[in-house]
Amino acid sequence: MTQVTPVILCGGSGTRLWPLSRAGYPKQFLALSGGDEGKSLFQEAVIRINSIAQSGVALGHTLIVTNEDHRFLVLDQLRDIANIGATLLLEPIGRNTAPALALAALCAQDDGDPILVVTPADQTVKNSNAFIKALQDCVALIEGDSSNQTIAILGITPSAPETGYGYIKRIGSAGDYGDFTVEKFVEKPDLKTAEQYLANGNYFWNSGMFVLRASTWLAALKEFRADIFSASEKSWQARTQDKAEQTSFIRPGKEEFQTIPNESIDYAVIEKCPSSSQFKVKMVELNAGWNDLGAWDAVWQVGKKDAQGNVTSGDALLANSKNSLVHASNRLVSAVGIENLIIIETADAVLVADRNHSQDVKNIVTRLEEQKREEKNLHRKVARPWGWYDSIDEGKTFKVKRIQVKPGASLSLQMHHHRAEHWIVVKGVAEITNGKEVMTLNANQSTYIPQGQTHRLANPGNTPLEIIEVQSGSYLGEDDIVRFEDTYGRT
């Protein structure tokens, strides 16, 4: 039996789901699908794609392609779900999905020539059994192709004339696995064209989920985009590797990776295959409550609605309102007499939008980027490999943070050029390096770190450590850190 290797593409920033999704904590790490277990989209993808092992498929190590900056988010979320072995391929910068899949295919070839089951990390599927059956059909289709020239794609049964998705047109009659030949791919249509597609019956939404052999992808990439293939291969040859817990980190060569053209799987290869004599694309239909949650309106669509069609999360109270989405992260959010609105509250930002214009949230993110506002990138509460910090107040020359450090974890040995820090322990035990002195502080004890002093905060205990940090100085940016030692490999 051929080995099947799950590949999860875990890049992207999800700008249309701002302010909940941000560059430093994008949508794939959020719980948005309305499930009862509070799993993130990434965790759902890992569980879903590994579930095909239950059907007798010989499943190999999961490959996760993600950004270097998100590696500890991935580790934390893997730790919270079933014991699934994974290798993380860490991109130094985003180069879209074609190079990401190239890295995964090059890595997978260490195990021969496995069948790759490729899925984005930011989608949701309601009917797991239908999903598993469709994947089984795709795997069987590829396993039975001795030419290694076939790519299987999951085509989503359209439920509406959706203008936000690309479409697949199938032709001919069904094959042994319910598969159809793909005649062509078409871009996101206008409403009139989408209505025609829906009425035609042979057009399906492009899910971005593929099944193919590693060698097939590399051969097709070399055929259609030799520049991406060559640059990806050079970056892979310059890779480094280390381990974290039961997970391997593989870093492609940074300088070589930066030369790779930015291109998607579809544009680079898949859309060229139907007109090619060498490669062919087969489509297996998936009717399983799929959604890519590309905008807030999609989150409303998959959410659990009350009698008035409202979807709420957190401390939200609505009166005389209908067909709206209200998400409260930090405080009570109330609404009266609203209809078809989206209201998203976080600690540092509030979004109010018409549901019909939810795709336009990206324009707000563009404005934030132009103004160099930090709200584009980070939440007020920021995850770190050692725990998290929450910036609870600040002024021109001061900032107050609440900091939590995991048991056994520590911050880097560091110093700051422009600020001093006061630390007050409020919970747990702190081991503090302050210059040449190492001290242990308990709750209600404090210390002062002068500007320019080398220091470190660590948690030697078995319970979380919490402190209040008061910074004072002329510049309080997060980039005023000089690291001397770091457990997590940060520079």
Handedness of CA 64, 68, 70, 76 (dihedral sign): positive
Q: Given pLDDT bands bounded at 50, 70 and 90, which one contains residue 110?
A: confident
Supply the pLDDT for residue 1.
Answer: 63
Supply the pLDDT for residue 125.
Answer: 93
Q: What is the mean pLDDT of residues 369-379?
A: 92
Question: Of 221-225, 303-307, 487-491, which gets the smallest average pLDDT?
Answer: 487-491
Q: What angle do CA 268, 273, 276 make, to 5 degrees?
A: 125
Supply the pLDDT for residue 313.
Answer: 93
Long-range contacts at 362-366 (CB < 8 A, ≥ 24 apart): 362/15, 362/16, 362/18, 364/18, 365/15, 365/18
Long-range contacts at 159-166 (CB < 8 A, ≥ 24 apart): 160/198, 161/191, 161/194, 161/195, 161/197, 161/198, 162/194, 162/205, 163/188, 163/189, 163/190, 163/191, 163/194, 164/188, 164/294, 164/295, 164/359, 165/205, 165/206, 165/292, 166/205, 166/206, 166/266
Cα–Cα distance, 217 to 273 (Å, whole number): 11
Residue predicted with more confidence, 101 or 276: 101
Residue predicted with more confidence, 54 or 319: 319
Each residue's pLDDT tens digit, 12-59: 777 899 999 998 899 999 998 765 568 999 999 999 988 887 666 777
Cα–Cα distance, 326 to 368 (Å, whole number): 22
Q: What is the mean pLDDT of residues 373-400?
A: 92
Q: Given pLDDT bands bounded at 50, 70 and 90, which one contains residue 245?
A: low
Torsion of CA 370, 374, 376, 379, to 10 degrees: -170
Cα–Cα distance, 327 to 294 (Å, whole number): 17
Q: Given pLDDT bands bounded at 50, 70 and 90, which one contains residue 112?
A: confident
b (16+ CB within 10 A) / e for 230-260 = ebbbbbbeebeeeeeeebbbbbbbeebbeeb
Q: What is the mean pLDDT of residues 91-107?
A: 94
**What residue ranges define each of the domains in the chain, with the CATH number in brackets?**
4-291 (3.90.550.10), 296-366 (no CATH), 381-485 (2.60.120.10)
Supply the pLDDT for residue 34.
Answer: 65
Supply the pLDDT for residue 54.
Answer: 64
Supply the pLDDT for residue 275.
Answer: 85
- Nearest Cα to 42, choosing from 127, 130, 119? 119
Supply the pLDDT for residue 277.
Answer: 83
Q: What is the mean pLDDT of residues 86-112?
A: 92
Q: What is the mean pLDDT of residues 75-80?
A: 88
Q: Given pLDDT bands bounded at 50, 70 and 90, which one contains residue 153?
A: very high
CB atoms within 10 A of CB 147: 9
In the beta sheet, which residues pair with residue 156? 205, 286
Computed over every residue of the chain, the mean pLDDT equals 92
Residue predicted with more confidence, 124 or 84: 124
Q: Is 280 helix (H, G, I), strand (E, B) or coil?
A: strand
Supply the pLDDT for residue 111.
Answer: 77
Query: 63, 45 in Cβ contact below 8 A?
Result: no
Is 90 exceeded by the pLDDT of residue 285?
Answer: yes
Supply the pLDDT for residue 234.
Answer: 97
Cα–Cα distance, 94 to 217 (Å, whole number): 20
Percent of the chain with pLDDT over 70: 97
Supply the pLDDT for residue 197.
Answer: 93
Query: 5, 111 in Cβ contact below 8 A?
Result: yes
- Nearest Cα to 99, choosing from 238, 260, 237, 227? 260
Each residue's pLDDT tens digit, 156-168: 999 999 888 899 9
Handedness of CA 374, 375, 381, 386 (dihedral sign): negative
For tokens 């069609």, what's the residue?
309
Each residue's pLDDT tens digit, 431-453: 999 999 999 999 999 999 999 99
Supply the pLDDT for residue 244.
Answer: 60
Query: 281, 270 in Cβ contact below 8 A?
Result: yes
In the beta sheet, which residues pair with residue 402? 390, 468
337, burial (CB in 10 Å: exposed 0-12, middle 13-18, buried 19+) = exposed
Highest mean pLDDT among 83-92, 348-357, 376-385: 348-357
Cα–Cα distance, 403 to 215 (Å, whole number): 47
Q: What is the mean pLDDT of residues 190-206?
A: 93
